[in-house]
Amino acid sequence: MAYWHISMKMNDAISRVQRHDVPVGKLHPAYKHEDHWNPLAEYREAWARLMLTPAPDALAVIWRRAQLKAGHHKHTDLKPERIERAIADDVEFLKAHPVRQSRKRDQEQ
């Protein structure tokens, strides 16, 4: 997901320098507006896969809830109910399999 996000940012930067005829823009192939759509589609697909991949910890659950609340699913094929079900499954799994505390914390107690 990070790769496609950075790819979109790079495409935007290339577009800007070429529009303003900055010399560094000549180092890249001519940017076409339609070049924006492929990385965007790939980013959204990666985001959707990440939302359905089992969460490794509670922070991932918090992030997913924030993503859902922000409406980031609206441009994907994912329905809110499917994401909510995945989050509920994550919460249930994490409750059943608590993360072991670090040895340092165990020694302090």
Each of the 109 residues of the chain gets a pLDDT tens digit; together they read 999 999 999 999 999 999 999 999 999 999 998 888 999 999 999 999 999 999 999 999 999 999 999 999 999 999 999 999 999 999 999 999 987 656 665 565 5
Predicted pLDDT at 35: 85
Helix (H, G, I), strand (E, B) or coil at 47: helix
Cβ atoms of 73 and 51 within 8 Å: the answer is yes
Domains of the chain, residue spans: 1-52, 55-109
- CB of 91 closer than 8 Å to CB of 61: yes
**pTM attached to this predicted model:** 0.79
The pLDDT of residue 79 is 97
Query: Do residues 47 and 66 touch, judged by C-beta distance below 8 A?
Result: no
The Cα 83–Cα 87 span in angstroms is: 6
Rounded to an integer, what distance in angstroms lies between the CA atom of residue 74 and that of residue 68?
9
